[in-house]
Amino acid sequence: MGITLVRGSDEALVSEKVSEIVRSLVGDADRALVLQEFSGEFVMAAATEAARTPSMFSDRRVIVINQPDMKADDVAVLVDYIEDPDDDTDLVIEWGTGRLPAPLQKALAAAGGTVVDPSPPSKSSKSKERISWWHSEVRARELNLDPAAFTLLVEWLGEDAGRFDGIASTLLATYGKARLGVAELKPFLGQEGDVQPWDLTDALDKGDTAAALRAARRMMAAGERHPLQLMAQLHNHYSRIARLDGHDPRSEADVERVTGQKGYPAKKALATYRSLGRPGLLRVFELLAKADSDLRGGSGLDEDVVMDVLIARLSRIAPRINRRR
């Protein structure tokens, strides 16, 4: 009948989407008679054979395949089936986050298969694309949030969009379709969600200490990033900017030529370089080196304290340099 492959950067959203598709395909039929799922350790040939075998109790079948880190041999078996699928079987493949092999992409396209990605746009939490995605998700679940509650939801969950379905179900069970404000929403949100690395670096570049500290803490708590991982991200960020030193960049084109960054990232890099200059960059790398030493036992301070001090100091460099100028 059809072939659907679900992939995306958020495993929770991928799993939820597969469940939604399966519910739609099974409909009112008896799941025990129509649905067969293959996950964990199984032989791919057994799954494709099941997809080709008519059901003794139903005129159609729904086969779900979920095998993380699929090997080349398994992909070949799956491609063989997709090239000649059974007319009475709906095949749903839960792919997850990995890259799609070219043979599988080609077979899906030739068979008229559908590739679904339920993940939100991977841009700033305030980008138009991401806000639009959140509006559609809220409408799809028939939640009635006022503007302040909607803004809180988006900013609080950050990159943990997979938690939204559970929150939405609980809110609907509690309030139905009533208009909800911050007071009604906040008790159901739990821990603040993860954020993207650029939320931290954008706040640092703007000199917004409070936003930078909040982003760093969320990355370490909800994102479960080790402080040394944040250090590596910060070092990469400032190293790209430091490459401009000595080239006297005057335009985005100059930044593109030196760093390879294009468009908005080049524009941000140029603005940050102009804000910091050589004195600011030297101070940045002094602070990064000190924090790296402290995280490795140089000071005896807790890791969270070391990172808070680093983030606070980094966020104040650009404003301080500009005041001196």
pLDDT digits (tens, 9 = 90+) for 275-294: 888 889 999 999 999 998 88
Res 54: pLDDT: 80
Whether residues 303 and 248 fall in one domain: yes
62 backbone φψ class: left, alpha, beta (φ>0; ψ -120 to 50): beta
What is the phi/psi pair of residue 14, to 5°? -60, -45
For the chain, give the longest Cα–Cα distance: 82
Q: Find the helix packing angle between 227-242 and 209-221, rounded to 10°.
A: 130
User: Of 188, 209, 228, which residue is a domain's last?
Assistant: 188
pLDDT in tens, 144-176: 999 999 988 888 888 777 788 878 888 887 788
Residue with the bigger pLDDT between 234 and 8: it is 234
Determine the pLDDT at residue 325.
47
pLDDT of 56 above 90: no
- Check whether residue 311 and residue 222 sit in a common domain: yes
List all residues 6 or more positions away from 280 whose beta carbon is below 8 Å from its beta carbon.
317, 318, 321
Average pLDDT over all residues of the chain: 84
Q: Are residues 210 and 272 in the same domain?
A: yes
Please check whether residue 179 lies inside any domain of the structure: yes
Examine the domain organization and report whether 134 and 110 are in the same domain. Answer: no
- Verify that 143 and 223 share a domain, yes or no: no
Residue 121 lies inside a defined structural domain of this protein: no
In this structure, the answer to whether residues 228 and 274 fall within a common structural domain is yes
Stretch (H or E) spanning 5: strand 2-7
Q: 88, 108, 127, 98: which is closest to 5 by C-alpha?
A: 108
Q: What is the pLDDT of residue 320?
A: 56
**Is residue 123 domain-resident?**
no
**CA atoms of 129 and 124, how far apart (whole Å):** 9
170 and 211 share one domain:
no
44 and 137 belong to one structural domain: no
C-alpha distances out from residue 262 to 40, 237, 268, 276, Å: 42, 15, 10, 20
pLDDT in tens, 198-256: 888 888 988 888 888 888 888 887 777 888 888 999 999 999 899 888 888 888 888 88
Domain boundary among 188, 209, 232: 188
Residue 134 counted as domain residue: yes
Expressed as residue numbers, the domain containing 183 is 128-188
Q: What is the pTM of this model?
A: 0.50
CA distance 247 to 242: 10
Contacts of 52 (CB under 8 A, 6+ apart): 81, 86, 89
Residues 160 and 209 in one domain: no
Residue 89, domain CATH:
3.40.50.300
For residues 105 and 221, which has the higher predicted lDDT (pLDDT)? 105
Examine the domain organization and report whether 215 and 279 are in the same domain: yes
Residue 294 forms part of a structural domain: yes
Map residue 234 onto helix, strand or coil: helix
Q: For the domain that residue 163 is a member of, what is the CATH number?
A: 1.10.8
Q: Which of 85, 116, 147 is the last residue of a domain?
A: 116
The whole-angstrom separation of Cα 243 and Cα 241 is 5
Q: What is the pLDDT of residues 78-96, one digit of tens each?
A: 999 999 998 889 999 998 7
Domain assignment of residue 298, yes or no: yes
Asked whether residue 217 falls in the same domain as residue 183, the answer is no
Would you state the pLDDT for residue 285? 92
Q: Is residue 122 part of a domain?
A: no
What distances in angstroms separate CA 240 from CA 73, 114, 243, 261, 277, one per listed residue?
41, 39, 5, 9, 13
- Which CATH number fits the domain that encloses residue 283? 1.20.272.10
Query: 223 and 318 share a domain?
Result: yes
The larger pLDDT score, comparing residue 269 to residue 121, is at 269
What is residue 122's predicted lDDT score, i.e. its pLDDT? 64
- What are the residue ranges of helices labelled H in 27-142? 31-34, 44-52, 72-83, 102-111, 128-140
Question: What is the domain count for the chain?
Answer: 3
In the chain, % helix, strand, coil (3-state, to 5) comes to: 60, 10, 30
